[in-house]
Chains A and B, each alone.
Chain A
Amino acid sequence: MCVYIFDMEKISDSDYIEKIRKGETKCFSFLLERYSVPVFSLIVKIVGSREDAEELTQDVFVKAFRSLSSFRGESKFSTWIYRIAYNMAISATRKKKKEFTAIDETMMLNVPDESEEILSEKITSEEQISYLERALEQLPPKDKGLILLYYKESKSMEEVAAITGLTVTNVKTRIFRVRKKLQLLIKMMEEKKDE
């Protein structure tokens, strides 16, 4: 029998998975409770539409339930569910082709490596977040997914690599480049505002 919600924190994902595998379908609601918000948020940001994201997130969890028998516990359940979500979101965006802001490589060379230097103190943190959200919208889905997993979902480089199927070195390089791209986009928005 599955435990009540106040005991939820004490029980690990693998305990729930074991119970679900034994036929206690009800226990899946606890995993859903844990991961639906971050998974939905990630998908919304990658696909850019709440309606599409709702459908996709439902599919992610149904697929996770269906494939639970193939989950061998070699990685964390969170990594596994994010992998399903990331792959499904990227496939969905492939169907809906969208134009993204192309950034000149030479412009990126002028961006400092350390992000502390990029944001001016003239703008408030709310404005900074709003710039960041707008800048994110201009990134290709894969880049968006990478940077969100690393910064927003606080995943390590190794976890991001496991989720995206890239090598750790590749993830490091790409996050470095995406961060520079974001900094440049934010800077351009600031300059536009100043004009």
Chain B
Amino acid sequence: MNEDKRKDMMYGLFAGMSNESLPEGFNEKVMLKVRKEAKQRKMRYRYLNILGYISGAIAVIALCLFALRYTGVSFPVNEYRDFVSFVSPFQMDMFNSPSFLFSLYIGGLALILLITDLMIRRHMEKA
């Protein structure tokens, strides 16, 4: 077979064939569809984000309830009643109280969630 297309008569004939003209307003119609698609994608991404946050929140609440039930950390009902003693940072016995353990637990969870959120965001940006 003649590998050199330029020496091939068929090539000359094909080169003589004209390109089809585009229908009127073709590119504009495509761009409209593309913009619509981009908008839908943005919305999908937003909905997925919201869904992610809701699922995350549900998972955390479930985890909290599970932990409160099985790890021995209890909600400091009595200490919350005495609000002033709870918020005062000068009470040294606070560090040994159930409220301190509870706050540490909530803070730890929040930190884990923030780090997870950051990692997911970075992963999604890369993708």
A interface residues, Cβ below 8 angstroms from B: 25, 28-29, 32-33, 36-38, 40-41, 44-45, 50, 53-54, 57-58, 61-62, 65-66, 69, 113-116, 118-119, 125, 128-129, 132-133, 148, 150-152, 154, 172, 175-176, 179, 182-183
For B10, what are the chain A residues with a Cβ–Cβ distance below 8 Å? 115, 151, 179, 182-183
Main secondary structure of the interface of B (DSSP, over half): helix
Bin the interface of chain B by size: 20 to 34
With known contacts A29-B31, A129-B13, A151–B2 Cβ distance under 8 A: no
Q: Is the CB of A62 within 8 A of B34?
A: yes
For B117, what are the chain A residues with a Cβ–Cβ distance below 8 Å? none
Q: Is the CB of A119 within 8 A of B9?
A: yes
Q: Which residue of B lies closest to A54 (CB)?
A: B23
B49 to chain A, nearest CB (A): 16
Question: Does residue B5 face the partner (Cβ distance < 8 Å to A)?
Answer: yes
Q: Which residue of A lies closest to B40 (CB)?
A: A66
Q: Is the CB of B9 within 8 A of A115?
A: yes
Question: Does residue B71 face the partner (Cβ distance < 8 Å to A)?
Answer: no
Question: Does residue B47 face the partner (Cβ distance < 8 Å to A)?
Answer: no
> Can you show 9 pairs from A to B with CB atoms below 8 A apart?
A25-B35, A32-B27, A33-B27, A36-B27, A37-B20, A115-B8, A115-B9, A148-B14, A151-B15
Q: Which has the most chain B C-beta neighbours within 10 Å: A32, A44, A125?
A: A32
Q: Is the CB of A129 within 8 A of B17?
A: yes
**Given A36-B27, A41-B19, A54-B26, 7 more contacts at CB 8 Å?**
A25-B35, A36-B22, A36-B30, A58-B33, A65-B37, A118-B9, A175-B1
Question: Does residue B16 face the partner (Cβ distance < 8 Å to A)?
Answer: yes
A120 to chain B, nearest CB (A): 12
For B1, what are the chain A residues with a Cβ–Cβ distance below 8 Å? 113, 172, 175-176, 179
With known contacts A50-B20, A54-B26, A154–B2 Cβ distance under 8 A: no
